Structure 1
Amino acid sequence: MSKRILIAVDEEESRVAVIENNRLLNLEIESNAFEGRRGNIYKAVVHKVEQSLQAAFIDFGEDKQGFLPLSEIHHRLWPEGITEKRPDITKLLRNKQEIIVQVVKDEVGTKGATLTTYISLPGRYLVLMPESDKHGISRRLADTERRRLKEVVDSIGVPEGFGVIIRTAGRQQRPLELKKDLLYLTTLYETIEERAKERKSAGLIYRDRSHPVRFIRDYFQDDMDEVWVNHRGTLKEVSEFMNVLMPDAVGKLRLYEGEAPMFIKFGVEDQIESVFARQVELPSGGSIVIDATEALVAVDVNSGRVKGEDIEETALAANLDAADEIARQVVIRDLGGLLVV
């Protein structure tokens, strides 16, 4: 079995995929024409507080103002004496007030970007949450595993005033690796604070990593055999990132210089077209039909040529076959919200 990450960069877009035995497991495409701002951090100024919306419009140095809802206002911005659980936003913010914000959702159409004042910095194994004393450990884990991870967090010496979340990739890592990640993130945050102090007007103070590096940060796992990159500049950028946070993995980097496009060479191009079709065929002869609406995503399972001794056996065989493909489609298409099967 072989598991690879493919990073294909050209003038128009960057495409990154995970394949296992040449079967597509994950895919992200980002256009170079659209500069995504999600994850970026800005020094900002409150332009207008809207009591009717319980939100504020924020000037953060871009063409369109951002939208900051009440729920995304950190307690550090609350004036002293506020004891209500959900105070009126006019008690918390004032026009022309300077704040630090992070983009959580890019602008869509005429709507500006959605902002938060709860800053988070993702690393390889941890997510750092400045000005927080909470540590995130999934409640889905067994009690023994939660206790173990709590002990691990206590052992790495998280500075006062910071909270951390252990990412999936960090659950089995040694405390030393987590400490390295923590040091990297706290140093990064100190740099961001200095930039905020130096900047005199609203504008960018931290740009999140490029699309290929973000993908490596979020999806690279120890069981990856190779990482192929078709662009020398991107290869250098990925290599520098890996040298800091995962030096043992640098040896898995490969420069692709073949004549055929990399996604064709590894058999991914043909899969992309079929993956995004409304109807996806299943190996056993059945199919699934995916319809996405604003309210929900509906998935219909068709048994097709799947045959069993009776109707219940046929339904079970079709559903088992579909379950694996639906999980794969959820990842590849980045489906979220209400999913009805």
Structure 2
Amino acid sequence: MTAEVLVNVTPSETRVAIVENGILQEIHIERESRRGLVGNVYVGKVNRVLPGMQAAFVDIGLEKAAFLHASDIFQKDCADEGAPAKDITQLVRQGQYIMVQVLKDPLGTKGARLTTEISIPSRYLVLMPRSEHVGVSQRIETEEERDRLRTLATDYSDNDVGFIVRTAAEKVTEEELAEDAKFLRRLWAKIQERRKKKSKGGVLYEDLGLAARVLRDMVGITVERVRIDSRLAFQELTDFVESFIPELVSKLEVYDGERPIFDLFDVENEIQRALNRHVTLKSGGSLIIDQTEAMTTIDINTGAFVGHRNLADTIFNTNIEATQAIARQLRLRNLGGIIIVDFIDMQNEDHRRRVLHSLEQALNKDRARTTISGFTSLGLVEVTRKRTRESLEHVLASECPVCHGRGSIKTVETVSYEIMREIVRVNRAYDADEFIVYASSAVAERLLNEETHALAELEMFVGKKVKVQVEPLYSQEQFDVVMM
């Protein structure tokens, strides 16, 4: 799998696009005013301890207090399997200052998720302080290579520090791995020094900038070229890859073309399309993607695709095509958490098995951890995808001020009848000579045309004159009934 990386840099925002075979697969956006916090290490103050939730709220200097669950608190004496976990009140106390790391960025109304099990990643290794654990990425499948890497990582570990070997370490030399381990140990020593100097809260360590982070974590993908449209960012990335990913140095280049860099491969338009609910398949079928706070749902429709043989084959082929589109959309939109996929109903058990296999194969390209459950009795497939940062929609869009996130607004007819009921209610509660209705142009037009007879009957019923006036700034659902 080969990819081209495009880096677009402005003073307020950095965007990184990953393009595979000419098609945009991932888009990462980081704004200076809202930099991602995942991986950052802080000294935080415990504000509240909640035994009923087995959790604590910790102030790390953000707008909202961060959330720390008992299961995310390092308990060395409970590390042995089967040992009972301690109660949250035995682990932290109110007013205590503790070292924590951000697991998940603040999402919607939720604060950041924290852990006290610190992990510091580099190119080939992840350092695990206060742990003797040594692990090897499950994506390294050769047992001989796994044993070699585990032996090397064990040599770098001791009673206070453990390591996890990342997928990128496959087939690297002992010297390269040793250098990575030395770097991480030096970095951890610096973090500990800063901790001693900070009696109160503050940042101890911040993860790399977006572009460097994306390149560091691109495991299993051969990078053909990295194009950057900023000379300053190009120099910073060059310094980074010379130290950590020297094989990429020759692939970095400054982009100074006349066209904006994201006009290449139609990236800008793809970003706009990724904000739509509707995704068209080449066959004429479609996906409908709805993102809510609890989960994301994906519905597959055959649409204009009628097939060439029979209905069962048409449905099967549409579902197979949808699996590839679903895997791409999850990466492109950065959708995480629970994803429910409603494939078109298939009666053939072999078709179901092949569709599930196709989805698994497509999701194998995803660097985020995903799990797939089989078909439920209702024909739904549940997918979970690790969520750490906000989705593309949450980064680029906000709740609609008109519908307030419902995705629909009341019809003109509905609002017209609400106005008439409001006039009756106000007339019974207050004494008025006449009423003036302020409403949007569409609602006012309906009241004065289609509902003119109903309005005349209402005037007779309340015994008052009702005037309708257009308020240009009102949305379709807004109106005011004013007594005169």
What TM-score, normalized by structure 2, do the two folds share? 0.64
Q: In the TM superposition, what whole-angstrom CA distance separates every residue of 1:176-195 from its partner, at most 9, and x where no partner exists?
A: 33333222222211111111
* 1:15/1:50 CA distance change after superposition, 3 Å: same
8 A contact 1:26–1:331 mirrored in 2: yes
Q: In the TM superposition, what whole-angstrom CA distance separates every residue of 1:48-93 from its partner, at most 9, and x where no partner exists?
A: 32323322222334454322221111115x79xxx96122211222
Cα RMSD (Å) = 2.5
Which of residues 133, 142, 146 is equivalent to 1:149?
146
8 A contact 1:102–1:116 mirrored in 2: yes
Moved more, 112-121 or 58-67: 58-67
Partner of 2:4: 4
CA distance in 2, matches of 1:63, 1:89: 24
SS of the aligned residue for 2:337 comes to: coil
CA distance in 2, matches of 1:20, 1:110: 34
Partner of 1:169: 168
Partner of 1:159: 157
Partner of 2:389: none
What code does the residue aligned with 1:37 have? Answer: L
CA distance in 2, matches of 1:251, 1:148: 28
Moved more, 263-272 or 44-53: 44-53
CA distance in 2, matches of 1:28, 1:74: 31
1:266-305 to structure 2, matched below 5 A, reads 266-303=265-302, 304-305=304-305
8 A contact 1:229–1:256 mirrored in 2: yes
8 A contact 1:13–1:30 mirrored in 2: yes
Moved more, 312-321 or 255-264: 312-321
Moved more, 169-178 or 290-299: 169-178
Partner of 1:31: 31
8 A contact 1:22–1:267 mirrored in 2: no
CA distance in 2, matches of 1:146, 1:16: 35
1:252-267 to structure 2, matched below 5 A, reads 252-267=251-266
CA distance in 2, matches of 1:316, 1:24: 26
8 A contact 1:121–1:185 mirrored in 2: yes
* 1:112/1:269 CA distance change after superposition, 3 Å: closer
8 A contact 1:122–1:128 mirrored in 2: yes
Partner of 2:195: 196
Q: How far has the Cα of 1:147 moved from its partner? A: 5.7
Q: In the TM superposition, what whole-angstrom CA distance separates every residue of 1:85-131 from its partner, at most 9, and x where no partner exists?
A: 12221122223333211112233466432221010112122222111
In structure 2, list runs of 5 or more residues that go unmatched.
Answer: 342-484
SS of the aligned residue for 1:225 comes to: strand
CA distance in 1, matches of 2:221, 2:71: 37
What code does the residue aligned with 1:149 have? Answer: R
* 1:111/1:279 CA distance change after superposition, 3 Å: closer
CA distance in 2, matches of 1:222, 1:331: 14
Give percent identity, aligned residues only. 38
* 1:301/1:198 CA distance change after superposition, 3 Å: same
SS of the aligned residue for 1:25 comes to: strand
CA distance in 2, matches of 1:222, 1:294: 31
Q: How far has the Cα of 1:222 moved from its partner? A: 5.8
* 1:252/1:66 CA distance change after superposition, 3 Å: same
1:102 aligns with 2:96: no
Q: How far has the Cα of 1:169 moved from its partner? A: 2.5
What code does the residue aligned with 2:148 have? Answer: E
8 A contact 2:42–2:201 mirrored in 1: yes
* 1:227/1:203 CA distance change after superposition, 3 Å: same
Q: How far has the Cα of 1:245 moved from its partner? A: 0.9
8 A contact 2:139–2:167 mirrored in 1: no
CA distance in 1, matches of 2:10, 2:216: 21
8 A contact 1:180–1:245 mirrored in 2: no
What code does the residue aligned with 1:246 have? Answer: I
CA distance in 2, matches of 1:338, 1:109: 16
* 1:302/1:251 CA distance change after superposition, 3 Å: same
Q: How far has the Cα of 1:206 moved from its partner? A: 0.7
SS of the aligned residue for 2:335 comes to: coil
Partner of 2:122: 123
CA distance in 1, matches of 2:148, 2:5: 33
Q: How far has the Cα of 1:196 moved from its partner? A: 0.9
1:85 aligns with 2:84: yes
Partner of 1:15: 15
What code does the residue aligned with 2:335 have? Answer: L
CA distance in 2, matches of 1:246, 1:23: 25
* 1:72/1:308 CA distance change after superposition, 3 Å: same
- Number of residue pairs aligned between Structure 1 and Structure 2: 335
CA distance in 1, matches of 2:162, 2:97: 24
Moved more, 172-181 or 314-323: 172-181
CA distance in 1, matches of 2:332, 2:58: 33
Q: In the TM superposition, what whole-angstrom CA distance separates every residue of 1:149-173 from its partner, at most 9, and x where no partner exists?
A: 1331212422213232233333343
8 A contact 1:306–1:318 mirrored in 2: no
* 1:219/1:2 CA distance change after superposition, 3 Å: closer
CA distance in 2, matches of 1:100, 1:135: 22
1:191-340 to structure 2, matched below 5 A, reads 191-219=190-218, 223-303=222-302, 304-305=304-305, 307-340=307-340
Q: Which has the larger radius of gyration?
A: 2
CA distance in 2, matches of 1:2, 1:117: 37
Q: How far has the Cα of 1:339 moved from its partner? A: 2.1
SS of the aligned residue for 1:270 comes to: helix
SS of the aligned residue for 1:243 comes to: helix
Q: In the TM superposition, what whole-angstrom CA distance separates every residue of 1:189-246 from its partner, at most 9, and x where no partner exists?
A: 1111111112232111111111111111112656211001111222122111111111
Q: Structure 1 stretches (4+) deviating beyond 6 angstroms?
A: none
Q: In the TM superposition, what whole-angstrom CA distance separates every residue of 1:271-302 from its partner, at most 9, and x where no partner exists?
A: 22223321111223322221222332222222
What code does the residue aligned with 2:318 have? Answer: A
* 1:322/1:258 CA distance change after superposition, 3 Å: same
8 A contact 2:125–2:181 mirrored in 1: yes
